[in-house]
Each structure stands twice: as C-alpha cells, then as structure tokens.
Amino acid sequence: MDPELRDAARDLLIRYGQGETERLFVSSKGTVVRDDEGREILDFTSGQMCATLGHSHPAIVKAIRESSEDAIHLFSGMIPEQVVRLAKKLGEWLPAPLKRSMFVNTGSESNEIALRMAKMITGGYEVIALGGSWHGVTGQSAAASFASERRGYGPKVPGVSVIPEPYSYRCPIRHCRDKCDMSCMKVGLDLFDMASEGAPAAVIAEPILSAGGVIVPPDGYFQTLQKEAKSRGMMLIFDEAQTAFGRIGEKFAATGLGVTPDIMSVSKTLGGGLPLAATITTDEIEEQAHSRGFSYYTSHVSDPLPAAAGLAVLETIEKENLLKRAKELGAHLRGSLDALQQRYEVIGEIRGQGLLLGIDLVKDRESREPHLDLGDLTTRRCMELGLSMNIKRRPERGAVWRIAPPLTVTVDELDRGTDILDQALRESLDELSRRAS
C-alpha cells in the first residue's frame, strides 16, 4: 500500500458517483481482482459488466499485443483489416436481416448512433423508452435513460417519452402482482399518443432492464412492442449492452425472443474489458441512411486495437462453448441463490437469465418494501469478506443486487461467492437487529 497514492486519489480525482478511494486496485486476473493491500476479491460484476471472459483472458491479451504491433489507431476514414474481420465474424452471429455494423467506444455512443439513424430515416424525433432503462450518459442516450438520476443537468434532448416498465414485482401502474398482463405498455402508449406531436422515430428498449433491477419482461412483450412501434412508423432499437454475447446463454436476447429489431446496439460484453461498442442494422436501413447523408465521425470510430479484442471475444466464446456454459453455470448459481431465499425472508425475488441475475431485497415479502439499509450494509460486508457486489438502490425501485460474473467463472468460485453472501447477509441482519434494540 502506498499512502501517498491513496492521498492523491482522494485529493486529485473527481468523484463520479461510486468511486471509492479508501483502497486502490493493482491487478486483475480471471474472476479475481487485487487491491493495494494484497487482498483477493472475487468479482461478481465482471468489472463494469464488461469482462465477458474474465479479467485479462489470454486470448484478449494476445490480441492486444499483436494489434499493438500492427496498428493501435488510424484516421477515421481508414478502415482497418481488424474491423472488417470483426464485422464478418459478427455477421455470422447476427439474426437476419441484421448485417451491417459500425464500431465505436461505448454503449452511450452506440445508442446515439442508433437514435440518430432512426431520426434521419423516419424524419421524426419522438422516442419512447421504458421506465428503469439505462442507455447511457450522453445527449440522446441520457434523455432515454430512466434508471439514473436525471436532476441537476438542465434540459434533456426533447421528444423522449417514458412508458411504464413491465415490473410485475412492483407494478409501476399498481395493477399487476407477479404476472404482467402488459397493461403498463397499453397505458404508456395511450399517454404517448395523447402527447405526440406527430413526429415518431423510435422505441428503444433493453431486452432485460439491468440497471432498473434486472427486470425480465413477460413472454410476448417484445412481439407486441414491435407491432406497436411499426403501427406508429417507429423503428425498434434493442440495446443489448448486457444481454449479447453469452451473458444470458444466448448469442443475443433477440435470438431467444424471436424478435429482430430494426437496429441493435451492443457494447459492454463485446470488448471483453476494452472500450468497444457497435451499432448494427440491415442493408436496407444502412442504404437509406447513407443516401440521406448519415454521418457520425468520432476520434476513435473503427479503431483497430479494440476490434481485435472484440474478435478474440467472439472466437473464444465459440471455442470454449461459453453459451452453453453460461446456461449451466447460471442454473447452478440460481439454485444456490434459491437456497438462500429459503433461509432469508429478506430475499423477496430472484430474477434474470443465465449469468445475469438480480436479488430483490425487501423488509417483508408481503409489503415488498425495499430494504435499502440491508442492501448497503451487506454490500460493504461482502467487500470486506472478499466479494465485489453491485447494488442498485432507489426507494421506488428497490434494493437489487445485480450478479454478473464472467462466463469463465468456475463452480467453485460461484459457491465461494454465495457462501460469502450468506455470511454477509447473516451478519448484516444481526447488526441491524442490534441497532434496532
């Protein structure tokens, strides 16, 4: 540990929300990160949900090394071979007629491109997003995000409407309990139609609303949403930042749902830890956009080095059969968490797919009042015991742990993590009991 570096972190860095400077981190490998005191911490969030293959997977390290010897960065108008190789491999994965890709840095960017493209082609500017959604922190993507704090930053991009999310555990329209009948969508679309200026452009949605509490919409939801979008002349955009490339045991959520959007954005899980995102669409839509002068230049569009890493991610998922593995390990983890739920009344619901799971903490299962204090206390205790957990907490949305370990996590690591969670829950409940007495 270097006290001077800790002091510098405290004094020189801008705090951006959840950054902690009490400890610093020095290395990461597989499912383990190490802090500056030499402690090993099991990572149940894959970094920021990005380290698909675990930290510093040999295939990614090799791709970075080789690409750095050939090309790291080029002029935006020069298309590197690595980018084309990635586009070809991605094309083998995509559900038809999705085919064409554009590679940028972050999910925010890929959603900016998707919304920009939809607006240019439809001629409209009105966008519908779901409550609890997270699409990014820049311009249009931030305006369409409702799982994050929106106050204090001034006016958002105009034209965005929110419809209630299909969260039957805490129905936003106080209608359903445990089984969504899609009244939330009907009510939301009626309100949109009432307020619309007649300039519809796009509906953007995450197939699983991750930051909103790992909300899994009911069967048929996206078929209906696609139909409703089409009837209004709107494009359907899937934001698959967290559901693509094996996290839920499918190549894409769209594949499992049997719903192919007009435009798809992917990010986090593609780069394997490097900043890499893509906007994907069809030949027809790309041609329309191009013919109307579509332009999106950034300093790092089509960079070769992250593209090489993305190709390594896709090839490794295929080679190591990680789609099947995510389903199997997800079922094992779900079984362990179900056992915890039997022991702890405070675990109200467990939901998700594959290796993207959410645990909803409540004060009691009847009222479903979010147990915010328990979420905070247990998350801190998990870290002390050697487990990194991600808690999403808002009074109106609950206290929900998002669990998303790398696809390469072992059964032993999953069991060790749930054992730590068990201990942290037990000790945190005891601590809260002592405080109350």
CATH number where 122 lies: 3.40.640.10
Q: Do 23 and 107 reside in the same domain of the chain?
A: no
Residue 150 confidence (pLDDT): 86
Residue 193 lies in a domain: yes
Contact criterion met (CB below 8 Å) for 162 and 195: no
Residues 359-404: pLDDT tens digits? Answer: 999 999 999 999 999 999 999 999 999 999 988 887 777 899 999 9
Residue 311 lies in a domain: yes
Residue 305 confidence (pLDDT): 97
- Indicate if the pLDDT at residue 19 is higher than 70: no
Contact criterion met (CB below 8 Å) for 392 and 376: no
274 pLDDT tier (thresholds 50, 70, 90): very high
Distance of CA 414 to the CA centre of its chain: 20
Q: How far apart are CA 177 and CA 174, in angstroms?
A: 8
Residue 63 lies in a domain: no
Residues 307-317: pLDDT tens digits? Answer: 999 999 999 99
Print the domain residue range for 335.
Answer: 3-56+321-436
Residues 45-76: pLDDT tens digits? Answer: 999 999 999 999 999 999 999 999 999 999 99
> What percentage of the chain carries pLDDT values higher than 70?
99
The residue out of 263, 288, 319 marking a domain boundary is: 319
Specify the pTM: 0.96
Rounded mean pLDDT, 174-197:
96
- Indicate if the pLDDT at residue 21 is higher than 80: no
Q: Which residues are catalytic?
A: 134, 206, 239, 242, 268, 402
The residue out of 264, 295, 319 marking a domain boundary is: 319
Residue 394 confidence (pLDDT): 78
Residue 259 confidence (pLDDT): 98
Residue 23 confidence (pLDDT): 87
Q: Do 90 and 206 reside in the same domain of the chain?
A: yes
Residues 403-424: pLDDT tens digits? Answer: 999 999 999 999 999 999 999 9
Q: Do 244 and 368 reside in the same domain of the chain?
A: no
Residue 64 lies in a domain: no
Rounded mean pLDDT, 34-52:
95
In this structure, how many other beta carbons lie within 10 angstroms of the beta carbon of residue 320?
16
Q: Which of 4-13, 33-42, 157-166 has the lowest mean pLDDT?
A: 4-13
Residue 30 lies in a domain: yes
Q: Name the domain count of the chain.
A: 2
Give the C-alpha distances (Å, rounded to integers) separating 344 from 69, 219, 278, 365, 403.
53, 29, 41, 10, 18
Rounded mean pLDDT, 186-199:
97
Q: Do 45 and 126 reside in the same domain of the chain?
A: no
Residues 207-245: pLDDT tens digits? Answer: 999 999 999 999 999 999 999 999 999 999 999 999 999
Residue 18 confidence (pLDDT): 65
Residue 284 lies in a domain: yes
Contact criterion met (CB below 8 Å) for 39 and 292: no
Residue 17 confidence (pLDDT): 76
Q: Do 87 and 185 reside in the same domain of the chain?
A: yes
Q: Which of 7-21, 73-87, 189-203, 323-337 has the lowest mean pLDDT?
A: 7-21
Q: Can you list the pairs that 187-194 forms with residues at least 24 positions away whose Cβ atoms lie under 8 Å?
A: 187/163, 188/128, 188/161, 188/162, 188/163, 188/164, 189/128, 189/163, 189/228, 191/161, 191/163, 192/126, 192/128, 192/161, 192/163, 193/232
Q: Do 313 and 334 reside in the same domain of the chain?
A: no
The residue out of 293, 319, 345 marking a domain boundary is: 319
Q: Do 115 and 229 reside in the same domain of the chain?
A: yes
Q: Do 159 and 256 reside in the same domain of the chain?
A: yes
Average pLDDT along the chain: 95
Q: Do 51 and 91 reside in the same domain of the chain?
A: no
In this structure, how many other beta carbons lie within 10 angstroms of the beta carbon of residue 369?
16
Residue 178 confidence (pLDDT): 92
Residue 216 confidence (pLDDT): 97
Q: Do 272 and 397 reside in the same domain of the chain?
A: no
Rounded mean pLDDT, 38-42:
96
Q: Do 308 and 354 reside in the same domain of the chain?
A: no
Q: Give the domain CATH number at 413.
A: 3.90.1150.10
Q: Do 367 and 430 reside in the same domain of the chain?
A: yes
